[in-house]
Amino acid sequence: MDAVIAHLFRPPFDLRFAWSVERCVQRIHPQTNGYVYIKDLRKVQSQGYALEQILIVDDSPEKVMRQPKNLVAIQAFQGQQDDKALLQLADDLLARAC
């Protein structure tokens, strides 16, 4: 994950937190009885960040069920060499920041 972040997020972006499964809250999904890994923004908020200034980029809306307004949905990566979704997202975010 660190290599992807280093490649995609360069100045002027100041990425301070990247979420991996180790930081998720694990819950049992009531319909499937399988596990769901939830990204609970209260963990980031407790570090002094305002929720309205946080975006979560994810391909699984259930992971942000506690703060759905913070989700930037993206298609799941399937290994295609021509997949440019994250690069396009970086360009879009850069355009918003300027």
> Does the pLDDT value for residue 89 go beyond 80?
yes
Q: Is the pTM of this model over 0.85?
A: no
pLDDT value, residue 43: 85
Lookup result for tokens 């990425």: 15
The strand pairing partners of 38, in sequence order, are: 25
pLDDT value, residue 30: 83
Domain span at residue 45? 2-97
Counting the structural domains of the chain, the total is: 1
Distances (CA, A) of 94 to 10, 32, 88: 10, 38, 10
Dump pLDDT digits (tens) for 37-66: 999 998 888 888 899 888 888 898 888 889
Element (H, E) at 35: strand 35-38
Q: What is the CATH number of the domain that holds 75?
A: 3.40.50.1000
